Chains A and B, each alone.
Chain A
Amino acid sequence: MKMGRKTATFIRLTLSYLVLIAIAVCAIYPALWVLLSSLRPGTALFSPKLIPDTFTLAHYKELFTNPSFRYGVWYLNTLKIATLTMIFSTILTTLSMYALSRFRFRGRKNTLTVMLVLGMFPGFMSMIAIFIFLLQLNLLDTHAALILVYSAGSVLGGFVVKGFYDTIPRSLDEAARIDGASHTQVFIKIMLPLSRPMLTYVALTTFTGAWVDFIFARLVLRSKENWTLAVGMWDLVNSYQNSNFTLFAAGAVLIAIPITLLFVFLQKFLVQGLTSGASKG
């Protein structure tokens, strides 16, 4: 009887491990494959072996030296746009969601409903209008336009942040208010330190969003030296993919690495962000 239970546990565990390993292979394989492809000599997509016989960094070098792309410039552009978007969106989202979560004022429920409704329109339905709007403001082909549109759009996705502030007990700020703190002081001294996980989450998601967006960036950025990585990559895929797969792989690795590292290191905050959104709907 005792032996039986042990064998049953053993079988169950072995099966669990087998499934886990299978899933792990599926999860990692594409990443591993593209990484190894980027180090493979030659340009072909097809390769008889997963692990090449010799490794080369030539494709990475080509990205920065080939005159037909400006990979280095694109990298800097993207870094600039993503960082500024991150800063502005985080400030705007936290401030506005704090206000919506903490205060009861006329029109609050309506604001929330409007936000929700606006979030349900397919985003690029507004592309043409924004395009013409930017054209009239003379902002086409500038990075400022991208930053402006991304930051303004990020506010609508702030429900997670509001959910987070909803869970912080109101007695905290009430106590501070009784002690004579102004709203600004309460926000800066009490709420901001408490909302660090949420700030990290918002910063991370907005940074990534700007880092990889190609739909809007492709529409706004016209000249090649203003492009972002995503647009350049998209162009690379469309014009070179079949003839030069390994170059694409190298470019892909360089785009993915910063984001992937950030995600893995900030996993904890990510989980908190996702789940605090979950429990609050």
Chain B
Amino acid sequence: MNRHRSIAAILSVLFMGLGQLYNRQFVKGLLLIAVNATALIYLVPNIGKAIWGVVTLGEKTQGLKKVGRINVPVPGDHSIFLLISGLITILIFAIFMTIYIMNIRDAYRNGSLRDKGMAVPDFKKTWAYVTDKNFPLLMLAIPALGVLFLTIMPIVFMIMLAFTNYASPNHIPPKALVDWVGFETFANLLTLKTWSHTFIGVFTWTIVWAVIATVTTYFGGMLVALLIESKGVRLKKLWRTLFIIPYAIPQLISLLVMRNLFNGQFGPVNQYLGYFGLGKLPWLTDPFWAKVTVILVNMWVGIPVSMVLILGVLTAIPKDLYEAADVDGASGFQKFKIITVPFILFSTAPILIMQFAGNINNFNVIFLLTNGDPVKGDYQFAGSTDLLVTWLYKLTLNNSQFNMASAIGIIIFLIVASFSIWNYRRSRSFKEEDMIQ
């Protein structure tokens, strides 16, 4: 006999919760009916418009209409609002469909229980089952919703923007409509002389910056950590606390302060250079020196983090390794070279790669310190120290070149993602996480 399960499943397909009612799970059934009713009330009037909006991005331009003797402005379609509200509706529809499928499966499963002559669990038992077996999913539900609407939806939106012509001056709603243009934006970025010149320049500097910034802070941090931990140095705790200070000061503050410290005219750094009989340096106003300043300041900001990390690793090196080396008559330098350095490198390699990826996106240091300046005449909306991220920011907020900004965002993502995924795949936490237990 498989009557019950078919009937329950079919009823649930017709309307969520009916199958559950048929299975005499009244609380669950009523809850599902309520969900379905709400969803229908919201979705029926909206879903068609949502799909139309996403596909066409609006058809009616803002215009004027003659009413009697005066021209009355008639609002047109706002492509960007259409796109976003369309995306939101489609996401809600997807969530609804997931619940709908779960509902059918649930009705079918409980129907089978009845077919086999077993009792159907009541609401109390269902609740106990959910909080026990589906505990992790329950815990993840709220964060997942937040991420879905505040991270995934915006990212999908921005990816879609890269394939439109949403840019000033000609395609800014509500004045004008935005259209799908396929890969034109990417093609422009790489082939139009003005854009490609800027892109290649900024891209090269981003990579150079990321390499130098990562290497200097990492080895600087290692040097400081080794100095503090070296034999005979006293007041280790004091040194550590002193060196953590740059890390403890909020970057927003320390970078704005640095901007004043390196001020070419009145800043103390140039003042001290003057005391030593040296000339003033254009720390922030010359393209080359601005790059030097950014890297120096980044060392100040970044070395403490590496120091803390490496200090942690140093304490984890097993002491017997050194004792064994002592027995073999190794010198201090040999111990350093053969035990300490490989150990540090091995256990911080994943961090090193993540720091590299992080430096590609290091918005704060550049934006707060130089704001991407000094200006470079032949660049399109970018300055000499601009990274891809700060360029993206300027294109979005100052220049309304949204499609170009999105294309650049996608390129940054591809660079960072390739590094990170490679790193993640080879790191232990992915492969062996179950082996630690």
Contact = CB atoms under 8 A, between A and B. Distances in A.
A49 to B, nearest CB: 10
Contacts of A227: none
Interface in B374-392: 389, 392
Contact of A45 (B152, B241, B242, B266): B266
A50 B272 CA distance: 11
A275 B139 contact: no
Interface string B117-136: 00000000000000110111
Given A111-B140, A129-B84, A279-B316, A122 B413 contact: yes
A54 interface: no
Given A170-B437, A259-B250, A122 B412 contact: yes
Nearest to A24: B242
Given A27-B242, A125-B406, A230-B252, A45 B305 contact: no
A103 B424 CA distance: 20
Given A183-B132, A278-B312, A92 B142 contact: yes
Interface residues of B, number: 101
Interface string A46-59: 10001000000000
Given A33-B257, A136-B84, A27 B243 contact: yes
A132 B80 contact: yes
A16 B230 contact: yes
Given A96-B140, A275-B312, A120 B420 contact: yes
Contact of B150 (A98, A102, A152, A248): A152
Majority SS at the chain B contact face: helix
A68 interface: no
A125 B158 contact: yes
Interface stretch (B14-22, B29-37, B425-433): B425-433
Interface string B153-180: 1110110010000000000000000000
Contacts of B81: 132, 136
Contacts of A163: 429
Contacts of B146: 92, 148, 151-152, 155
Contacts of A122: 361, 363, 389, 392, 409, 412-413
A271 B257 CA distance: 26
Given A105-B136, A270-B308, A126 B239 contact: no
B88 A133 contact: yes
A68 B162 CA distance: 41
B262 to A, nearest CB: 10
Interface stretch (B66-74, B284-292, B345-353): B345-353
Interface in A54-108: 92-93, 95-96, 98-100, 102-103, 105, 108
Interface in B258-287: 258, 260-261, 263, 265-268, 271
Contacts of A23: 224, 243
B85 interface: yes
A255 B261 CA distance: 18
A267 B150 contact: no
A274 interface: yes
Given A125-B155, A183-B135, A275 B84 contact: no
16 contacts: A20-B239, A28-B245, A34-B253, A105-B136, A120-B357, A122-B392, A126-B150, A129-B155, A133-B150, A136-B81, A149-B150, A163-B429, A182-B131, A275-B313, A278-B351, A281-B428
Given A126-B150, A255-B250, A278-B347, 20 more contacts: A9-B232, A20-B227, A30-B258, A33-B268, A34-B253, A92-B143, A103-B135, A118-B151, A121-B409, A122-B361, A124-B393, A124-B396, A129-B153, A133-B150, A136-B81, A152-B149, A155-B143, A156-B151, A183-B132, A274-B308
Closest 8 CB pairs of A and B: A126-B154, A152-B146, A275-B312, A281-B427, A129-B154, A263-B248, A99-B136, A46-B266
Interface of A: 9, 12-13, 16-17, 19-20, 23-24, 26-28, 30-31, 33-34, 44-46, 50, 92-93, 95-96, 98-100, 102-103, 105, 108, 111, 116-118, 120-122, 124-130, 132-133, 136, 148-149, 151-153, 155-156, 163, 166-167, 169-171, 182-184, 208, 211-212, 214-215, 230, 233-234, 237, 241, 245, 248-249, 252, 255-256, 259-260, 263-264, 267, 270-271, 274-275, 277-281
Interface of B: 80-81, 84-85, 88, 131-132, 134-137, 139-140, 142-144, 146-147, 149-155, 157-158, 161, 224, 227-228, 230, 232-233, 239-254, 256-258, 260-261, 263, 265-268, 271, 300, 304-305, 308-309, 311-313, 316, 347-348, 350-351, 357, 361, 363, 389, 392-393, 396-397, 402, 405-406, 409, 412-413, 416-417, 420-421, 423-424, 427-430, 433, 436-437
